[in-house]
Amino acid sequence: MDLLTLNINEVLELLESKKISAYELNKFYLDRIQRFDGQLDSFLALNENALNEARLIDDKRVKGENLPKYAGVPIALKDNIITKDLYTTCSSKILENFNPPYDSTVSSLLKENGFIVLGKVNMDEFAMGSSTETSYYKKTKNPWDLERVPGGSSGGAAVCVAAGLAPISLGSDTGGSIRQPAALCGVCGFKPTYGLVSRYGLVAFASSLDQIGPFSRDIEDSAHLLNIVGKYDPKDSTSIKTVEKDYTKGINNDIRDKKIGIPKEYFEGGIDSDVLKCVNGAIDFYKSQGAEIVEVSMPHTEYAIAVYYIIATAEASSNLARYDGVRYTFRSEAENLIDMYESTRSKGFGKEVKRRIMLGTYVLSAGYYDAYYLKAQKVRSLIKKDFMDAFEKVDVLLAPTSPHTAFKFGEKMNDPVSMYLSDIFTISLNLFGGCGVSIPCGFDNKGLPVGFQLLGNYFEEEKVINFAKIYQNNTNWHKMLPEKFKK
């Protein structure tokens, strides 16, 4: 029995039939973390109670007590998701040793439903980056090539699933931070519709864009997680009251005559030829299944990154104002209050975070607001319209997730614009607010994974999941494990 490639349904069957205990299951992953994370550096903190929680579940099961559906299933959480009594640092020095006195809504929901949090995983500092290199604590390695980045900002959440250190995880996606690392590590990464998953207890970066979402091998596992976390929450005023759905139900519906849009702007220049080959392979697959492939145009795609870096940094400069040395862990001692603010923030934040706070402060400052922030919000309307128009004609959109596969450490660190451009295919969706997933679809000539995206309209998760599942039913890319971490 190879636990590593089983999906949640199969794991639940083993647990329910007592072929495996929750203790054994969690011990299996904790042992792998012990063995392999020294090379991968994906975890920042481990839940020391995990095995006790597992034992409690096993005791109850033996006694025949009622258990929540997912009792005993292990999960890892990105370190910007607040977990009670488990360190949450956002990979920043300014939150070093921050030990939250409460749970985020998503971690409460997971715990209520029996999941066991294995630990917290590494990320770019405050989710600002595309390579996980801006973490104050460690550099997470790509399991397919340890000299390369895992993508970001949810690098740790992608790596722990790709290397089999956790079966599933939650990350967050502000401009591609779930989908891009999922593509670079060869796993599934799902960004839900804005407002579907509560952000109460998600450390805020860019509030009009941030959204929590799952990583898994099998898309069906992400659907299970959406069932748990995709709930209206009065504690998040941007949370949407939708009808609760069972996202695993719409799976395996016929896609014959369904329309897949290919946005031509996503295929113009700058894409690695191997990436293009793999993505075209996915398009051919859908053709062979009887889906209709339709070319669409989304003419404002090229402006998305500029819009994003105004809106996201403006919102970040405001959200990060709270780190002033008064309430949260790190303070740099100083003579007077202003001195303390400045010294704490200068020593507590890393280079990229300071760069973005500076940019955000500038675009919001008197005299520049109209030229930058308001302009960006207007172009955001045009980008949103591109999507609305496209979804008049097609069911989902298909595009590459990233123009290239995993790059080497340091390659883009000294050139922020080139780092920002690695999110060129993912950012527009956040500005629009719809849902999307990255699915593994092959490898380049260096053996590095390639992913393609399926993008959907507001609250059309079920459609996206169905298209993704049909691909996975007929391919094995999502079951591949990096050679070093197979055994």
CA dist., res. 70 & res. 114, Å (int)? 5
User: CB of 473 within 8 A of CB of 252?
Assistant: yes
Sheet with strand 292-296: strands edge to edge: 43-46, 116-121, 74-78, 169-172, 212-216, 188-191, 435-443, 449-456, 396-400, 259-263, 292-296
CA dist., res. 45 & res. 38, Å (int)? 13
153 part of the active site: yes
CA dist., res. 275 & res. 267, Å (int)? 11
Among 384, 404, 479, 484, binds other proteins (CB under 8 A): 384
Q: Judged by CB under 8 A, does residue 242 bind other proteins?
A: no
User: CB of 205 within 8 A of CB of 126?
Assistant: yes
Catalytic residue among 104, 130, 177, 216: 177
Nearer to other proteins, 354 or 484 (CB): 354
Q: Judged by CB under 8 A, does residue 358 bind other proteins?
A: yes
Phi/psi of residue 114, each to 5°?
A: 95, -5
Q: Judged by CB under 8 A, does residue 309 bind other proteins?
A: yes
Q: Judged by CB under 8 A, does residue 50 bind other proteins?
A: no
DSSP 483: G
Catalytic residue among 21, 42, 78, 154: 78
Q: Judged by CB under 8 A, does residue 341 bind other proteins?
A: yes
3-state class percentages of the chain: helix first, strand second, coil last, to nearest 5: 45, 15, 45
Q: Judged by CB under 8 A, does residue 306 bind other proteins?
A: yes
Provide the minimum distance between the beta carbon of 374 and other proteins in the complex, in angstroms, as a whole number. Answer: 6
Which of 6-14, 115-123, 132-140, 348-356 is the region at the interface with other proteins (rule: CB under 8 A)? Answer: 348-356
List all residues 6 or more positions away from 64 whose beta carbon is below 8 Å from its beta carbon.
none
> In 116-165, which residue ranges form alpha helices assigned H by DSSP?
155-162
Phi/psi of residue 358, each to 5°?
A: -60, -50
DSSP conformation letters of 178-210 = THHHHHHHTSEEEEPPTTTS--TTBPPS-TTT-
Q: Judged by CB under 8 A, does residue 52 bind other proteins?
A: no
User: CB of 145 within 8 A of CB of 449?
Assistant: no
Which of 23-31, 169-177, 301-309, 395-403 is the region at the interface with other proteins (rule: CB under 8 A)? Answer: 301-309
CA dist., res. 442 & res. 17, Å (int)? 35
The residue among 430, 473, 436 whose CA lies nearest residue 455 is 436
Give the footprint of other proteins on residues 71-130 (CB under 8 A).
98-102
Give the footprint of other proteins on residues 361-380 (CB under 8 A).
361-362, 365, 372, 374-380
How many residues touch other proteins under the rule CB under 8 A: the total is 70
Q: Judged by CB under 8 A, does residue 328 bind other proteins?
A: yes
CA dist., res. 165 & res. 173, Å (int)? 21
Q: Judged by CB under 8 A, does residue 231 bind other proteins?
A: no
428 part of the active site: no
Which of 68-76, 105-113, 156-164, 233-241 is the region at the interface with other proteins (rule: CB under 8 A)? Answer: 233-241
78 part of the active site: yes
CB atoms within 10 A of CB 145: 16
Q: Do you find a cis peptide bond into 237, omega within 30 degrees of 0? A: no
Provide the minimum distance between the beta carbon of 54 and other proteins in the complex, in angstroms, as a whole number. Answer: 27
Which of 40-48, 123-131, 197-205, 299-307 is the region at the interface with other proteins (rule: CB under 8 A)? Answer: 299-307
Q: Judged by CB under 8 A, does residue 232 bind other proteins?
A: no
Sketch the per residue contact string, 131 through 170, with other proteins: x for CB under 8 A, - otherwise: ----------------------------------------
Nearer to other proteins, 145 or 324 (CB): 324
Nearer to other proteins, 9 or 97 (CB): 97
Catalytic residue among 153, 154, 169, 222: 153
Binding residues for other proteins (CB under 8 A): 98-102, 194-195, 208, 234, 237-238, 240, 300, 302-303, 305-307, 309-310, 317, 321, 324-331, 334-343, 345-346, 349, 354-355, 357-359, 361-362, 365, 372, 374-382, 384, 416-417, 420, 431-434, 458
Q: Show which residues are catalytic.
A: 78, 153, 177
